[in-house]
Each structure stands twice: as structure tokens, then as C-alpha cells.
Amino acid sequence: MKIVAYEVREDEREEMKREADRLGVELIQTPEALTEESLKLADDADGVTVLTKTRIEGDILDLIAKKGIKVVATRTIGYDHIDLNAAKNNGVHICNGNYDPDGVAEYTIMLILMALRNYKQALFRANANDYSLKGLMGKELRNLTVGIVGTGKIGRKVIEMLQGFGCKILAYNRSEREKEGLRFEYCSLEELYEKSDVISLHVPLATTTRYMINRESIAKMKDGVVLINCARGELMCMDDIIKGIESEKIGALGLDVIENEEGIYHQDRRSDILSNRNMAYIRQFPNVTMTQHMAFYTREAVESMARGGIQNIVKCLQKEENPNMLC
């Protein structure tokens, strides 16, 4: 069995090789994204594994199918870079990654606390030997209502962690799931918007969720609402978010993702001119904390992603039960 791994980071390389050796797989690794040119590496391959720089759609997907490659495994949980319908039509199986939700959930809690306690400004001042307190008064989480949009693995883990703070927790999911001992209330999305002091997004990117945070939804929220996004940047319409910050309707913003981050995040662009104007503009606000899509980035998660890229292909080819198979 031969697998080609694309977009391999140095922190994945050894774990991926160990897993391939354990499973008796011939493995080729490259830091390149999967393109028409780099697909030549996958001659006679049974499967390929990618990250999000590679878009599995259109001509590339046709070429993958023509080469007889049976499985594409993304090492990410999100799969909005893959056209599942086209993959089905081409007879190509798609799998996504899996890792424990703790890392992203912990990071979400961190961003909430940083936003509530004005940490960005406190840090900037301290770096300039300004230790004044004016404008830094925060809020205590125990007295607030937190709205969780999406109660999948990560959303539920955030709820579990929030319980220790004593805050009221509201949640919305397209279909209500069993609470399994967690203390929160399901409500409509409109009610969540209206009643929450803090709103955190934990839904996948789809046609129904793209730009779900927009001018209309922001208008329904409390004045001074805190918004947190560790999911996908395209869940928010950044033009409307910026207007919300400028009008002070949005009290604080914590972003680990942003629309059109591709080609910027996870790269050193210090000497470059960035074309993402919204990113360049919004980061200057004192109440906006931005990080470079790293909520997932823990040793445990990276190792799980690296192993999963190999395991999912092997399971699929050997027709084993695999909860990560998407089609």
C-alpha cells in the first residue's frame, strides 16, 4: 500500500512515518500542496493525505480519480476545502481528521477571559512600562451569560469547562442532543443572540452557516457583546464585524480564524505586503485579539492528526469501520 502525504509540516513528519512503518505502508512525504504538478508523486498511490491549502475539487479531483487513487484523507477536522459531492461522483472516498476537543476548547476559554479582562491592552501597556489601570476594568465570567453555537465535540467540551466558572450557559444546535449531565439550556439562535453576553462559535462552515454573524444577527445582540471564533473565519462577515466594533456594538472580539487567511496564516510574511485588508485593519483595535489559527495546535492534536492521515486511508482500503469516513 502506497500513500503520499502532502503539506507535511516538520512537526508531523516523524509521527506520520512511525505510523506508516507500524502499518507497513510505503509513505512519501512532501511539504508541497497537492497540485496537478505535485500529483506526479502519487503515481501508483492508493491514497493521499492533505491539509487545507489543497482544494480537492474540480480538475484536481478528476485527476485523482483518473490516477486510480481511492482515498483522500484530510488531516483536519474541517473539510470545507473538499467537494464531497464531486468526490462521490468520481468514486473517491473522503475521510477527515480527528483529535480530542480539549485543546480548542481550552483555547476558547482563554480567548474569552482575555477579552473580558482587556488583556491585549494590558500587555501592550506593560511592554511600554505603562502600568496604569484606566480603561482596563474587566468583567467576571460568573455573572455573565455565555452562548455556545454548536454542541458538537468542541462545543460540548467548552460547555463542560465553562461550568466551573458558574456562568449561565445557553446553547443552540440545529438538532438538540442529549445533555449527558452538562448544565446548560437549549434555545433558539435568536434567543441566544438576544440574551448572551459572550457568544462562541463551534459550527462547521457550510452554505447555511457562512456569514451567520452579519449585520442582522449582530443587531439582535446585546450592546457590548463579546464574540469568539475558533472555528472558521467565513462564519463571520468581516465588513459587518468591523462596523460592529467601530460603533461599539461589539464590546470585544477574539479571533483565531479570519476570512481569507489562506496564504497568510502559518507562514512568515513579515517582509510582505498582505492583501487581506480586513485583517490588516481589524487587528489595530484595542479590543480585538487575533491569533494565527492555532487553537488546534497542541502536541497531542498534531500527533493525532499525523497518525489519522495514515490510519484513515488504511481503514478505508481495508474496508474497516471508520467513523471519520465522509463519503
In the chain the first and final C-alpha atoms are separated, in Å, by 21
Residue that is written with C-alpha cell 508531523 in the block: 12
Between helices 153-162 and 102-116, what is the axis angle to 10°?
50
| Strand partners of residue 74 | 50
* Cα 291 to Cα 262: distance, rounded to the nearest angstrom: 14
Q: Is 277 helix (H, G, I), strand (E, B) or coil?
A: helix
In the three-class reduction of DSSP (H, G, I as helix; E, B as strand; rest coil), residue 230 is classed as coil
CB 327, CB 93: distance < 8 Å? yes
**What is the Cβ-side half-sphere exposure of residue 70, based on CA atoms within 13 angstroms?**
13
Backbone angles phi, psi at 28, to 5 degrees: -115, 130
3-class secondary-structure state, position 121: helix
Place of cell 467540551: 157
Active site residue 232: yes
- Is residue 261 among the annotated active site residues? yes
Catalytic residue among 232, 234, 259, 303: 232
The DSSP letter of residue 73 is E
Q: Which three cell numbers stand for residue 224?
A: 457590548
Catalytic residue among 202, 261, 303, 307: 261
Pairing of strands 225-229, 198-201: parallel
CA-wise closest residue to 180 among 210, 159, 204: 159
The answer to whether residue 277 is catalytic is no
Q: What DSSP string describes 241-262?
A: HHHHHHTTSEEEEEES--TT-T
Residues acting as catalytic residues = 232, 261, 293
